[in-house]
Structure 1
């Protein structure tokens, strides 16, 4: 069945005029008449009958019109969906992030984005640095936001630093090393509480030990989240290496304390990552714009 002819029929039926239908469809009136006749021949059914100076629908055409209204409404819905998607009013954005940005940064950005894009779905997944990179590379995410080493990134990933955080060695406020200044060799004699293998904190600690030629400390407790790590350190067991973004409040209110390690300053980059050489969608551009505006 010719859908163009069906739409012509619809316009003639609802306007009651071949001339008006021609104006709406931007073709000549004779062309409308000719195409309607061909459509009737294709269907093997009459659609219109003359009544005075105008035309009226046949019984078959009246039933066809009711069904055609659903089709036309669906077409308009699809056209609206396409236009809204192109203008980034609808759609889905998949964001993958490591724990720090997922808990301390993204909630604000997501709220700002949703306030302007209510019908856009945001799917935010928290994982470690290695997994975040893999999900981005394998098209399971549109954007990766993480705190970690740029060396984790592959050539397929475009890495853009947002700001530089700092990593702190921390212990409980009652720990013998609280607020003390020691060497790295002394620090690594402590039992550590860390995130799992593949986390940026773990990789940072390994890199620091390698650079200063000291052994990697014993990781006595391992958690999949920073909150659990912080609570264990607060309880008085062991030490940890954690972003100042996550523990600054605990240090300032006296629940945790820093350990100052001589000659060790550990910058921690927070970065936004996209797939290299790929045109970004309008949705993605809008979200990244919100992120960057927050750091201006």
Structure 2
């Protein structure tokens, strides 16, 4: 079937006039008339019949007009669909993130992003750092958001550092070390409340002791969740070594207090990881651009 001729037929059926169709399509009336007659011959159907000085649809033409309207309506939907994907207003984003950004950054980022791109589907997986990068390499996700020590990334991974997040020692405001400047050795005499084995911050604490040849601290309470550990310290037991992103508001409200350990300033790197030399979908590019503009709060 000649789709160009069908489009001409659809325009005449919609406008009810060869003249108006000629004006809209910028095609001469004789050319349109000739193509419609050729189209009728191809179909072996009469689509139009005289009606005074004009024309009207035959019964066959009226039924074909309904089908043509559906066809070109779907065409418009397809064109809009393609345009939305090009602009990033439609599609999906698959994201793997480590614990810190997944719980304390990404929810705010997504809420802001969704205000502008509500039709973009977001699929988030929270995992450890090595698995997040592996998912990225396996093309299981589009991007990985990483929070932790800077690592030696594979050559095929592109990293874009957003900011450095400080690690703080915190205790309850009633603790004898609250707001004090003390030595690392004294800090390590306190019982610690930490997350489970495998937590990157816990490993940083133990690595710190090895670096300064100090005995490892006693981890008296261990929780699978970070919030549980923080609540225990707020209640007055022990100390915690934790991201400033997690406890900053607690410190500002006076529920926790910092301990300033002399000579110790450790940071986590918050970074976006993508695959090198790969064109990202527009939806992913829009999300990354939004994060870069204001990574702390968007």
Q: TM-score, normalised by structure 2?
A: 0.79
Q: What does residue 264 of structure 1 align with?
A: 264
Distance 1:126 1:42 in 2: 60
Q: CA deviation at 1:266?
A: 0.9
Output aligned runs, 1:67-216, within 5 Å.
67-151=67-151, 153-173=153-173, 179=180, 181-184=182-185, 187=188, 190=191, 192-195=193-196, 197=198, 199-213=199-213
Deviations 1:95-115 (A, max 9, x none): 443343344333443344333
- Change in Cα spacing, 1:41 to 1:188, as seen in structure 2 (3 Å) is farther
SS of the counterpart of 1:150?
coil
Are 2:190 and 2:238, in contact at CA under 8 Å, matched by a contact in 1? no
Are 2:94 and 2:123, in contact at CA under 8 Å, matched by a contact in 1? yes
Are 1:98 and 1:126, in contact at CA under 8 Å, matched by a contact in 2? yes
Distance 2:193 2:118 in 1: 44
SS of the counterpart of 1:151?
coil
Are 1:194 and 1:219, in contact at CA under 8 Å, matched by a contact in 2? no
Unaligned runs of 5+ in 1: none
Higher relative contact order (CA 8 A, sep 6+): 2
Deviations 1:122-153 (A, max 9, x none): 44444433333233333343333332122063
Q: What does residue 14 of structure 2 align with?
A: 14
Distance 1:29 1:211 in 2: 87
Distance 1:219 1:6 in 2: 77
SS of the counterpart of 2:45?
coil
Are 2:193 and 2:238, in contact at CA under 8 Å, matched by a contact in 1? yes
Residue 249 of structure 1 pairs with residue 249 of structure 2: yes
Q: CA deviation at 1:242?
A: 0.7
Q: CA deviation at 1:59?
A: 0.6
- Change in Cα spacing, 1:222 to 1:4, as seen in structure 2 (3 Å) is farther
Q: 36-45 or 216-225: which moved more?
A: 216-225
Unaligned runs of 5+ in 2: none
Q: What does residue 4 of structure 2 align with?
A: 4
Q: 50-59 or 159-168: which moved more?
A: 50-59
Distance 1:82 1:176 in 2: 63
- Aligned residues: CA RMSD: 3.5
SS of the counterpart of 2:269?
strand
Distance 1:174 1:280 in 2: 51
Q: TM-score, normalised by structure 1?
A: 0.79
Q: What does residue 285 of structure 2 align with?
A: 285
Deviations 1:165-188 (A, max 9, x none): 211233445567655724359728
Distance 2:202 2:4 in 1: 63
Q: What does residue 230 of structure 2 align with?
A: 230
SS of the counterpart of 1:70?
helix
Aligned residues: 295
